[in-house]
Structure 1
Amino acid sequence: MFQFQFPLYNDIVEQARREAVEAGFEELRTPEDVDAAFRRPGTTLVLINSVCGCAGGIARPAAAHAVHYDKRPDHLVTVFAGQDKEATARAREYFVGEPPSSPSFALLKDGKLCAMLHRHDIEGHEPVAVVQKLQALFDEYCEEV
């Protein structure tokens, strides 16, 4: 049976993963990875990554720049919506009361949700505006480094 290959799409996914990792985010690819990461004490910024244009043009660049700040989360992690489905589903279990959204950001403290930036907080905004939103959350919930 003939099977379609989508090398361009695979390249886009790999580039999206690489951009997050190069920005300092740890990839969580399984539910067990998520549980282990979210059990760590302190603050954790979760990037819910995706391949859409607002992820590549706004969310990932904002994530990369926002963490260069006096206050920042103790841990930076990412799950990939639509790719690592089980890990993303597990992460969303921690975001109690929040609808699924990607790309998006969640800020946790000791495994508990403090705040979220949803797709509507990202899409249509300039990356610098998203950086400012993230850094405002860092000011509120994170310690100075």
Structure 2
Amino acid sequence: MNMFFQNQMDLMIRPMREELTRHGFVELKTPEEVDEAFRSAKGVALVVVNSVCGCAAGLARPAAVQSLNYDKKPDHLFTVFAGQDKEATARAREYFEGYPPSSPSFAVLKDGKIVGMVQRHEIEDSDMESIIAKLHALYDKAHEA
């Protein structure tokens, strides 16, 4: 991709990234960053596999942020961007054992091990309250594990 188009893409994607980072999510852009973050994050982590699709904008990113208003919220917040940071996203998906690739999606990890996921098909046909409830159930499960 030439630099002009790459710069245009970066400008278009920036608000989609910032919707999470301004709420404390740490972007992981390389496989090495994913490994370091997941291996060193003790406790519960929420990983948002971000996307440019409409359900990411209308449901997934807002639900991720709103789900943090909860007593048992995650200790760590991470995000990878499917289609943009491809190698980082592929590495993150290696940690989501038993789940097929899905974007947008949410993974909840405990000490770097998958507890559960909310995948695209559970996001795109749901309302905000249902998605948040699914995330809260995963936070509860992770904190009890």
TM-score with structure 1 setting the length = 0.90
- Structure 2: segments with no counterpart, 5+ residues: none
SS of the residue corresponding to residue 44 of structure 1 reads strand
Structure 1 counterpart of 2:32 = 32
Amino acid at match of 1:34: V
CA distance in 1: counterparts of 2:132 and 2:116, whole angstroms: 15
- Is residue 26–residue 78 contact of structure 2 (8 Å, CA) maintained in 1? yes
Tell me how many residue pairs correspond in the alignment. Answer: 142
The answer to whether 1:12 aligns with 2:12 is yes
CA distance in 2: counterparts of 1:46 and 1:76, whole angstroms: 6
- Is residue 31–residue 91 contact of structure 1 (8 Å, CA) maintained in 2? yes
- Is residue 12–residue 51 contact of structure 1 (8 Å, CA) maintained in 2? no
- Deviant stretches of 4+, over 3 Å: 2-12
- Structure 1: segments with no counterpart, 5+ residues: none
SS of the residue corresponding to residue 71 of structure 1 reads coil
- Residue 6 of structure 1 deviates from its aligned partner by 7.4
Q: Which has the higher helix share?
A: 2
- Residue 3 of structure 1 deviates from its aligned partner by 7.6
- Is residue 43–residue 73 contact of structure 1 (8 Å, CA) maintained in 2? yes
CA distance in 1: counterparts of 2:35 and 2:3, whole angstroms: 35
- Residue 122 of structure 1 deviates from its aligned partner by 0.3
Q: Structure 1 residues 74, 61: closer, same or farther in 2, change over 3 A?
A: same
Question: What does 1:1-145 correspond to in 2, within 5 Å?
Answer: 5=5, 9-39=9-39, 40-142=41-143
CA distance in 2: counterparts of 1:89 and 1:103, whole angstroms: 13
Q: Structure 1 residues 44, 8: closer, same or farther in 2, change over 3 A?
A: same
Aligned Cα RMSD in Å? 1.8
Q: Structure 1 residues 7, 38: closer, same or farther in 2, change over 3 A?
A: closer
TM-score with structure 2 setting the length = 0.90
- Is residue 44–residue 139 contact of structure 2 (8 Å, CA) maintained in 1? no
SS of the residue corresponding to residue 48 of structure 1 reads strand
SS of the residue corresponding to residue 61 of structure 1 reads helix
- Residue 54 of structure 1 deviates from its aligned partner by 0.3
- Residue 127 of structure 1 deviates from its aligned partner by 1.6
Output one character per residue of 1:43-69: Cα deviation in whole Å (capped at 9) or x when no partner: 111000000000000000000100111
Amino acid at match of 2:123: I
